[in-house]
Structure 1
Amino acid sequence: MAVFTKNPVSAPPAPPVRETTGHLLLRAWCILVLFLAVSGVSWNLAFGAVAGGAIAIASGIVTAVLWAVLRPAFQWRRLPWVALAYVAYAALSIAWSAWPSTSALTWLLLAITTLQGFFVAAVLTWREIIRAISSALKWAIGLSLLFELGVATVVRGPIMPGFARPAHHYDPIVYWSRGNLFNSGRLQGIWGNANLLGVVALLALIVFGILFAARAPRRTMLIVWMAVAGFLLIRAGSATTFLSLAAVVVVLAAVLLMRTTKKPAERTRYYVIYAIVGVGGIVALWFLRKPLFTLLGRNSDLTGRETIWAKVLKRAVERPFAGWGYASPWIPGDPHFDRWIIDHGQTVMQAHNMWVDLFLQLGIVGIVLMAGVYLAYIWRAWFFAVDRPRWDLVADRTYSPLTLLPTLVATVLLVQGLAESGPLILWGWMFVAMFSFKLKQAPLIGVGPAEVGAAIERGDAVSIP
């Protein structure tokens, strides 16, 4: 019988560090939280606005209880204070809001979304966050494909919210799904909106691609999921998403090129080139918008968005400094929004531009605060992606593909924000809050109290995500 010496030269063999059941359940909750944010309005379409709101509030209560019980380690001084200032100012706007009930309700959802983003960033490591986002996106796009398949094969026609079949023909904008899977029409997924499906499919393509580059397990399945995401992106036919994809490609190329530099002077030269190309691209896009959007199947005023912006700005300039009061999204039942702006017979619930929406709701102060949020986020995300990881004298550590995600997500949100108000709510704001928190608490993957403090990080530090 083999025995250990009383004076061993190394530690006795032991099984590898494994996740505890509690941590597995915690990560499962984070995946559910992320899925609730990503799936967005699908809950309202399936079960009604009251049920959707109840689910959001209940999830926020559970997260608050978990935070109080777990008390995850984080540094108070390194909180994203600009983002918190924006949330606080939105709450303060209830005092002068022209629609106080709408402001109070939508601010509650904003506070819950912020709490959820901070919680996920506090209890999970960088590797776990990206894996959790990947799992949530798989559920979202997988259910979207199954939903469209079910409508096309079982219903064989359009379907209304609440799983009801239309009694007669309606404007296609009111259908939850138009049953277009087997024809050339646009798909809408569980969101009932092709633009929302398109941007989530793009986000999924980015996350799956990053995990594939990081040599994550089950790479064959990642290829399958990328194919599904690419298929849904194309079938959504969202012009804004296609522009976001082009911007992501440009930014990704810029980051990879920046990683090849050896001296600061080389970066300066590239920054000048990027600035010239960026300004030139914006000018060209504006003057060539008519043929470009015609090519993408849209008219030059972004499918009526310029008309919406004009009406919103006309009201916004009446209270330019502090705004009319927070309201993201606009609640159609509120008299101030009901039938105010009509599109295809339906009350519009957003300004279709995050900055125009902010100007209406929170005025110039709100725009400045949100600009500060994105400036701080993008600044940290950019150097998180382009700087070689270093915390000691070792200066030749390899780059991690995982560090690309915050920068690419910021790119998607900024482009989407030009034609949608989505970045102000749901997963758009949650990802900004989550990454802003994580970038300040853990500016390096696997290093720092916010990373090492998680139990699973001991295993993640030596394994592939």
Structure 2
Amino acid sequence: MTSQLRLGRLLGSAEMARAFTVAVLVAVFGSFAIERMSSPVTLATVVAVLCVLGAGILWVRREELSPLRIAPSSLIAFLGWAIVSLAWSTDKSDTIAGWLALLGFAFLAITVGHIRDTLQTVRALGDALRVLLGVSLGMEILSGILFDLPFTFLGIQGNLAIGGPVQGIFGSRNMLGFVVVIALITFVIEWRSQSLSAQVAIPSIALGVLLAFLSASPTVLVLAVAVGVVAVALTIVRHTPSDRRSIVQWVLGVLVALALTAAFALRHPIIALLDAGSDFSIRASLWNTILDFSALRPIQGWGWFGPWARGEFPFTYINFQLDDHHQSALNAYFDVLLQLGWAGLVLFLLLGGVATVRSWLVASARRSVVYAWTPLMLVTLAVDSMFESFTLVGAGWFMLVLCALRAGQSRSWRESIDAANTGVIPTLRAEG
């Protein structure tokens, strides 16, 4: 009995919550390196062990949790539809494996979201990414300068001496760019919230900017512009008096719609400016082929797989037609459409869209800058999903679930039900 009490105290302690969160973040963002240096089984074991530990932590803290607010309903619906696709999947075992990967990373995100608040999450993510980006730069220096030899087991090509592109320990330059943008947002929020001193924040930001430049990823510039515009718009809203805030929100919404329309109309000059013509041409051909196959199963899709399984229809046939070896649709929305049909795509858009609106409203009303972290992350995920499928696997999926949970904790229909049971009416007080 004494040992059980000690174990309960350990699992419920703040120190365990902090250590667990950092361990999860390092494992999630370092998943490619873990898999390459050992095996997919090792990565699956690491995730499974963390899930078991997370379940123990949540069980010990069960009195602090509300069953209605464990996870967003849109997330549950998306996971439910993905497992239902087992009924028409072309490979049942691959669908189960892909779904378990979704569930495992989602459960880790849910656990972190319930045992850490936003500021604690930001600080833990900042600590984890500083280490991983530092290791990435160190490995690139070893490969590209000291040894002048590619580290093929990590996908590092050793191009640092010629100015890049570099991949770090994340597998590709686009994934490195994606992680760097997440890191830069986190570092800036840490600094602005005064949870990080300038002596640490400035070198961290410099490291992120350096790796963003060396990655030579065309998506980094797009993400940086999108995040910058959203940050400016959010700053304007936050500094607007509460009685005029709704008008400003509507004006910004109209401007965003006009900007998206203009971007679509000027897409060819923009692509030429970014020097991404050949890259976009490859994506356009892939997406057109995916639309042809999606038309055969428009509602339900071909079944959930996650990353494209080798030897499975329709992925192999798509690559055969294009004479390529794509491992994803290079677009999260097209990937969901292909695998889960229009029904799955609607659920996926609801998951991200509702979370973005909720987090934006919270960040608009709360004075602390830390509340800006969630909408900025969701915008990063949404924009990057137009060029890569990172949001459906690993770190990207983890961040989407974490941000959706975080947004729902502040503005959710569940709060009204909880209020009816407790007699406390939850309010979101506008500050400023």
The residue aligned with 1:312 is 290
Give, in whole Å, the separation in 2 of the partners of 1:140 and 1:292.
32
The residue aligned with 2:429 is none
The residue aligned with 1:439 is 407
Name the amino acid aligned to 1:212: W
Q: 1:198 to 1:344 in 2, by over 3 A?
A: farther
Instruction: Report how far residue 301 of structure 1 moved.
Output: 5.7
Aligned residue among 120, 127, 148 for 2:119: 127
Instruction: Report how far residue 375 of structure 1 moved.
Output: 2.2
Give, in whole Å, the separation in 2 of the partners of 1:326 and 1:228.
37
Asked if residue 87 in structure 1 is aligned to residue 66 in structure 2, the reply is: no
Q: 1:376 to 1:48 in 2, by over 3 A?
A: same
Give, in whole Å, the separation in 2 of the partners of 1:267 and 1:333.
53
Q: Which moved more, 1:364-373 or 1:334-343?
A: 334-343
Q: 1:36 to 1:190 in 2, by over 3 A?
A: same
The residue aligned with 2:426 is none
Q: Deviation string for 1:309-364 (max 9, x for gaps)?
A: 12222111111111111111112254653474169986211111111111111111
Aligned residue among 253, 264, 282 for 1:286: 264
Asked if residue 177 in structure 1 is aligned to residue 156 in structure 2, the reply is: yes
- Answer whether contact 1:72 1:122 (CA < 8 A) is retained: no
The residue aligned with 2:424 is none
Give, in whole Å, the separation in 1 of the partners of 2:364 and 2:124.
24
Name the amino acid aligned to 2:389: S
Q: Equivalent residues in 2 for 1:43-442 (5 A)?
A: 43-71=34-62, 73-78=64-69, 79-161=71-153, 176-264=155-243, 266-299=244-277, 302=280, 304-332=282-310, 334=312, 336-338=314-316, 340-341=318-319, 347-388=325-366, 399-442=367-410
Instruction: Report how far residue 273 of structure 1 moved.
Output: 3.2
Give, in whole Å, the separation in 2 of the partners of 1:110 and 1:20.
25
- Answer whether contact 1:240 1:415 (CA < 8 A) is retained: no
Name the amino acid aligned to 2:127: S
Normalised TM-score (structure 2): 0.86
Q: Deviation string for 1:136-187 (max 9, x for gaps)?
A: 211221111111111123430322126xxxxxxxxxxxxx111111212211
Count of paired positions: 403
- The CA RMSD over aligned residues, in Å, is 2.5
- Answer whether contact 1:337 1:347 (CA < 8 A) is retained: no
- Answer whether contact 1:381 1:407 (CA < 8 A) is retained: yes
Q: 1:345 to 1:230 in 2, by over 3 A?
A: farther
Give, in whole Å, the separation in 2 of the partners of 1:297 and 1:55.
40
Instruction: Report how far residue 209 of structure 1 moved.
Output: 0.4
Asked if residue 29 in structure 1 is aligned to residue 20 in structure 2, the reply is: yes
Name the amino acid aligned to 2:293: R
Q: 1:217 to 1:278 in 2, by over 3 A?
A: closer
Normalised TM-score (structure 1): 0.81
Which structure has the highest helix share of the two?
Answer: 2
Please give the secondary structure, in 2, of the residue aligned with 1:189.
coil
Q: Which moved more, 1:343-352 or 1:367-376?
A: 343-352
Q: Deviation string for 1:294-318 (max 9, x for gaps)?
A: 3323116615111111222211111
Bigger Cα Rg: 1
Instruction: Report how far residue 253 of structure 1 moved.
Output: 0.7
Name the amino acid aligned to 1:88: G
Q: Which runs of 5+ in 2 are unaligned?
A: 1-9, 413-417, 419-432
Please give the secondary structure, in 1, of the residue aligned with 2:387.
coil
- Work out which structure has the larger RCO, using CA pairs closer than 8 Å and 6 or more positions apart in sequence: 1
Question: Percent identity among equivalent residues?
Answer: 26
- Answer whether contact 1:330 1:349 (CA < 8 A) is retained: yes
Instruction: Report how far residue 69 of structure 1 moved.
Output: 4.0
Give, in whole Å, the separation in 1 of the partners of 2:157 and 2:116.
39
Q: Deviation string for 1:275-295 (max 9, x for gaps)?
A: 343233223323333332333
Give, in whole Å, the separation in 2 of the partners of 1:134 and 1:343.
43
Give, in whole Å, the separation in 1 of the partners of 2:103 and 2:185.
27
Give, in whole Å, the separation in 1 of the partners of 2:61 and 2:31.
27
